[in-house]
Amino acid sequence: MSALCVGALALCAACGSGSASTGDDDGSETVKYAVTSPLVPPQLPPYVGPLVTGEDFGLSTDRDNLQVLNDTPSALQLLLSGKISATSAAFIGFLKARETQDQLRTFCPVQGTTSGQIVSVNADVTTIDDLFDSSVRVLVESPGGPNDYFMSLAMQAAGLDKTSEDLPNTTIVEDQEQRLSALLAGNADVGAVWDYDVPKLQDKFGADNVTVLSSFTDSPTVYLSFVSTEKWLEDNPDTAAKFCASVLEANGRISADLDLYKQTVSEYATGEPTDEIVEAVWNTAHETPAMWPSTGGLEQDIVEPVIDYAIESGLIATELTYDDVIAEQPYLDALELLDSK
């Protein structure tokens, strides 16, 4: 999500909040929801969690109830008009949208991190500090994008009191695959790519010339979350809890079972990821519980640093609090449902 959301949300200020949840004849419930990026391997389990484990919690949500969109403003328009009940969002960008649309709430974690890495293909660029040389071409996202946030976290970890907005030579490229293409073409020195794409860069430039400057998995946070409206969450507390429980349950099962992950990829993933990609992603998730959270993810000590960053960096002007942005009860109820299984 980027600042572009604000304009789209303004169009929806007067939209209704009708329910996109329905009950089936057998007593189970269906939830219509959207995700805001393709069903790529690193994000697949939480995105399709309600389809994979929903029945365990009384949800009958199937593939027809999931919309895959490539932009957050469209998803938020559907949400605010009541055509869907929930949508995924980059948490750091959600805060910007929440600043102007106070009916929005996050109620379930999707990912606490992901398998992205900030990579240099310039042999002379081997540290985060080197990015501040004006000759170094760095690919970034729009302010408020999740990769933009991770780059700023990498700077903090390196002891630099700076953010990505302080970089002197940047080009905005929003999509991970497009950043990979730009690096391979020699049009940039540094950018964030999926970890499984690093070997492609090494093949192109030579392993000695490619340096991983930072891994997203080194900085667990709130990367992606599911968002709904305060009204839908208040009107459908049990459904919201079941939906979130199905996401967390799928995350837990799939991160523990490579064969189940392969099956899930085969059924739902965009394109045809190779076995090497699938296994690389699963290994990262298996070793990094925050990537596909199953037992937590929206606690105050995780959420508040992101809010503080958004305020301190000037991304948002409003002093939002944890209670302003998190609908805690559906999340807590989801954890109880998991504990009772």
pLDDT of 291: 95
Over 70: is that where the pLDDT of 10 sits? no
pLDDT of 1: 36
Over 70: is that where the pLDDT of 244 sits? yes
Query: Residue 269 is encoded by which pair of tokens?
Result: 């993933």
pLDDT band at 8 (very low <50, low <70, confident <90, very high): very low
Identity of the highest mean pLDDT range in 3-17, 59-73, 265-279: 265-279
Mean predicted confidence (pLDDT) in 36-45? 93
pLDDT band at 25 (very low <50, low <70, confident <90, very high): very low
How do strand 104-111 and strand 116-120 relate by DSSP bridges? unpaired
Q: What is the pTM of this model?
A: 0.87
pLDDT of 146: 83
How far apart are alpha carbons 327 and 298 in whole angstroms?
10
pLDDT of 22: 59
273 compared with 219, residue with greater pLDDT? 273
Over 60: is that where the pLDDT of 223 sits? yes
Residue the block writes with tokens 């630099």: 160
pLDDT band at 43 (very low <50, low <70, confident <90, very high): very high
Q: Please say whether the beta carbons of 224 and 245 come within 8 A.
A: no
238 compared with 164, residue with greater pLDDT? 238
Taking alpha carbons only, the member of 38, 15, 30 closest to residue 86 is 30
Average pLDDT, the chain: 90
Mean predicted confidence (pLDDT) in 281-303? 95
Mean predicted confidence (pLDDT) in 218-244? 95
Over 70: is that where the pLDDT of 5 sits? no
- Phi, psi (degrees; rounded to nearest 5) at 293: -65, 140
pLDDT of 21: 59
What length does the chain have? 341
H or E element in which residue 23 lies: strand 21-23
C-beta contacts of 154-162 below 8 A and 24+ residues apart: 154/118, 154/128, 154/213, 154/214, 154/219, 155/128, 157/128, 157/214, 157/218, 157/219, 158/127, 158/128, 158/129, 158/214, 160/128, 160/129, 162/132
